[in-house]
Amino acid sequence: MNTTTQHKTSYKNSPLGLIPKDWEVKKIGKIAKTTAGGTPSTHKLEYWNGDIKWMSSGDLNFKRIYDVKGRITVDGLKNSSTKVIPSNCVLIGLAGQGKTRGTVAMNMVELCTNQSVAAILPSKEFYEDYLYHNLDYRYFELRQLSTGDGGRGGLNLNIINSISVPIPPFPEQTAIANCLSTWDKAIEKQNALIAQKELAKKALMQQLLSGKKRLKGFSGEWKEVRLGEISKNKGEYGINAAAVEFDDKLPAYIRITDIDDDGNFSTEKKKSVDDKKSKNFYLNTNDLVFARTGATVGKSYLYNENDGELVFAGFLIRFKIDPKKADSYFIWSFTKTKLYWDWVTSVSMRSGQPGINSQEYSLMKINLPSIAEQTAIAKVLQCADDELQLLKKKLEQLKEQKKGLMQVLLTGKKRLKF
């Protein structure tokens, strides 16, 4: 791995702030050609399903793009504004309401793009991997450069061409890119390991929670119950209160948007609630809440005392699982199965606006073994969850390490031997 030089570096002022004296600042349009793609007419079947790779802006999320699902024909290429670009172009998302706008990637193979993707073609002026890392580090800056309103603004080739980038000597560009790529490989490996463990856990969960696989020592019959039958209540809605800035003297406010895809309380945008009535809506051990409407309908969260004092919001429904009748972790694990989500889809789509009310949740059917077997299964699944959380924590550490390296290497605050 590269190490930083020991000698002192002289710096100079530049449009990007202080940079090493032997670095330059150049606009992208002065050091490379840029282009954007296009989309063949979707009404012409003869333009599609050919042999030419064609990517949309959604493919940018793969960062290093080796293949894409889209394919067009030679006729599709000739009769649209898309064009074949060589491998090792730096790609930038031009438009999109989500995170796509400003997302940076590299195509590792020759392909075409749609009109929402700009390509910076390879040039002898820079090392492509270095430019990729530099622009990837400046994601939020790129989004701020967008034209139009905040919701549907976009970038364009003029904006891309006007972006100034610091240009170290070519050997240093290579050294910086190679160092950061080391962390990319570690992050990619960690992501692959997490995906593998998630698949294994999902398979284990489907087997254990359906009774297809029994733990040693258990053989009794399972019985079908309704959620309302194993709860101390029939489902209650939360409090509709105004969220305020987080204050550790106040309880946190858990809303639909605060439940992540794993069913955990996300503290990324943690808010508090300051309402005298909120004490009636504190979550306690064995409390299971469900999202009752919108795109997140069906999502669930099991209260964890490590999350501190939580007040649940009005678009959530609480069920107090009776520990004498059911293991709450077992029930929560069931809400991650295909069987559960099939039920959510069938019930929530009965009306125009997706939704499930407390009575419908209360009638949800679950097959349960004995409490002892539920608890044993829950412990196995919790171990799998704990392992996944450790792997994800390591992933975040790797990302933070890379972020720290980018902050010093891409600004010249630290130099590498080359």
Q: How many helices (H) and strands (E) does the chain have?
A: 10, 22
Do 239 and 324 reside in the same domain of the chain?
yes
Do 304 and 383 reside in the same domain of the chain?
no
In a domain, 187, yes or no: yes
| CA gap 418, 415 in Å, rounded | 9
Do 359 and 281 reside in the same domain of the chain?
yes
In a domain, 409, yes or no: yes
pLDDT tens string, the chain, 418 residues long: the values are: 444 444 467 999 999 999 999 999 999 999 999 999 999 999 999 999 999 999 999 999 889 999 999 999 999 999 999 999 999 999 999 986 668 899 999 999 999 999 999 999 999 999 999 999 999 999 999 988 876 544 456 899 999 999 999 999 999 999 999 999 999 999 999 999 999 999 999 999 999 999 999 999 999 999 999 999 999 999 999 999 999 999 889 999 999 889 988 889 988 889 999 988 898 899 999 999 999 988 889 999 999 999 999 999 999 999 999 999 999 999 999 999 999 999 999 998 866 678 999 999 999 999 999 999 999 999 999 999 999 999 999 999 999 999 999 999 999 999 998 7
Going edge to edge, which strands form the sheet with 89-93? 34-36, 117-120, 89-93, 104-107, 64-65
pTM of the model: 0.83
CATH of the domain at 182: 1.10.287.1120
Do 156 and 89 reside in the same domain of the chain?
yes
Question: What are 282's two structure tokens?
Answer: 């504190």
Do 78 and 31 reside in the same domain of the chain?
yes
Query: Which value, to the nearest 10 degrees, does the dihedral of the CA atoms of residues 376, 378, 384, 385 take?
Result: -160
Do 209 and 247 reside in the same domain of the chain?
no
Do 236 and 212 reside in the same domain of the chain?
no
CATH of the domain at 334: 3.90.220.20
Positive or negative CA dihedral for 189, 195, 199, 201? positive
Query: Exposure pattern of 211-235 as b/e (b: 16+ CB <10 Å)?
Result: eeebeeeeeeeeeeeebbbbbeebb
Q: What is the DSSP letter of 241?
A: -
Last residue of a domain, one of 102, 133, 167: 167
Q: What digits encode the pLDDT tens for the residues 172-185?
A: 999 999 999 999 99
In a domain, 78, yes or no: yes
In a domain, 212, yes or no: yes
Do 117 and 179 reside in the same domain of the chain?
no
Do 385 and 316 reside in the same domain of the chain?
no
Q: What is the pLDDT of residue 358?
A: 95
Do 363 and 394 reside in the same domain of the chain?
no
| CA gap 320, 324 in Å, rounded | 12
With tokens 């894409």, the residue in question is 68
In a domain, 5, yes or no: no
Do 343 and 381 reside in the same domain of the chain?
no
Do 404 and 267 reside in the same domain of the chain?
no
Contact (Cβ atoms closer than 8 angstroms) between residue 326 and residue 287 = no
Tell me the residue range of the domain where 61 lies: 24-167
Total domains in the fold of the chain: 3
Strands (E), 79-116: 89-93, 104-107, 112-113
Last residue of a domain, one of 353, 368, 383: 368
In a domain, 16, yes or no: no
In a domain, 13, yes or no: no
Positive or negative CA dihedral for 192, 195, 197, 203? negative
In a domain, 14, yes or no: no
